[in-house]
Amino acid sequence: MSFDSAENRIPLWKEILKSTALVMRSHSLHFCALSTLFLLPIFFTLIVYPSFHLAFFHPEYNFNNSMQPQFHVSGLEIIVFLMLTVFVVLFFLCAVATITYSAVQAFHDRPINLVSSIKSIRNSFFPLLSTFIVSHISIIIIFALVLVFLLQILQYNLNHFWFLLTLVIVLVLLWLQVNWSLACEIAAVEYKCGLETLRRSAYLVKGMRWVAFWTHLFYGLVMGAMVIGTNIVFVLLGAAKGDRWRSSYVISQTVQCTVLGTLAMNQFLVLNVVLYMYCKDLKGEKLSFEYLSLPLDDEKKKNNIV
């Protein structure tokens, strides 16, 4: 693939969408397998867990009743939630590592296979993990500073506090999401860690911020509405209570939202990789394949020995 949008006078965002579609079509089964391995369990968990959590830990709770019992959180409940969080984060990082590796290889018409993609996790997992931890710690610190700043300005007048706090948090989140939109790809491809990854993402995305903004906004709204909407419906219906989860409606909705969410996230991750490649090209940078070819080269060496 070549960066020829300027010559053909095609809008850059259309060229990115076109390149994303070509990458996914050229290895559709490969990306489908990776999505099934790593993304499908995430969306299935996010859709099923909330209703089953309430049914198991708070069976007496009923959102249709105005008189609700006191909500007590047990230690086991916290442990289960933390285990679920670790599970989702680990699978998400593995999905980012494998899909990013495969998309970069496919973008440059290099051979890929499922084994080499899975092997790429060993090289990019810890850079991705450090980036994930540092970014979330940074978000917590920024929110704490915003909270203190607003309290100082309003002099503890809470009349408009929550409205301003929500507005500022949304704007700050959007700004951080746009500037750090390429952080995972940088960690997976360049093996940079922590703050260095975040700074480099803010540098690369300059000139493409609106593309990154609309991409993250669109996919975020689609996937968020899908997961949150399904959770609300299941919780209100008490889908996990008794045998209701066996009904055709609950099963069909679970399957439908899980599959659609998996496909949407897969497309989003590939598109973000393509955006990363275009941002590098705009900065005059070329990709080195010395590290990306390691898993595939290892397999070739083994095959030659055999």
DSSP state of 285: -
Whether 278 contacts 95, CB under 8 Å: no
Q: Residue 113: pLDDT above 80? A: yes
Average pLDDT score over residue span 252-259: 93
pLDDT of 288: 60
pLDDT of 197: 94
pLDDT of 257: 93
Helix orientation angle between 248-282 and 183-190, rounded to the nearest 10 degrees: 70
pLDDT of 166-198, one tens digit each? 888 888 889 999 999 999 999 999 989 889 999
pLDDT of 266: 95
Helix orientation angle between 248-282 and 75-107, rounded to the nearest 10 degrees: 50
With cut-offs at 50, 70 and 90, classify the pLDDT of residue 243. confident
pLDDT of 69: 59
pTM: 0.85
Question: Which amino acid, one-letter code, is at 137?
Answer: I
Q: Residue 213: pLDDT above 90? A: yes
Q: Is 19 exposed, middle or buried (0-12, 13-18, 19+ CB in 10 A)?
A: buried
Q: Is 248 exposed, middle or buried (0-12, 13-18, 19+ CB in 10 A)?
A: exposed
Q: Is 141 exposed, middle or buried (0-12, 13-18, 19+ CB in 10 A)?
A: exposed
Q: Is 182 exposed, middle or buried (0-12, 13-18, 19+ CB in 10 A)?
A: buried
pLDDT of 62-100, one tens digit each? 666 656 556 677 788 889 999 999 999 999 999 999 999
Transcribe 224-265 into DSSP letters.
HHHHHHHHHHHHHHTTTSTTGGGSHHHHHHHHHHHHHHHHHH
Whether 231 contacts 47, CB under 8 Å: yes
Mean pLDDT of the chain: 84
pLDDT of 179: 94
> Per mean pLDDT, which of 2-16, 59-73, 235-249 is the most reliable?
235-249
> Per mean pLDDT, which of 21-25, 51-55, 246-250 is the most reliable?
21-25
Residue among 277, 276, 265 nearest 108 (CA): 277
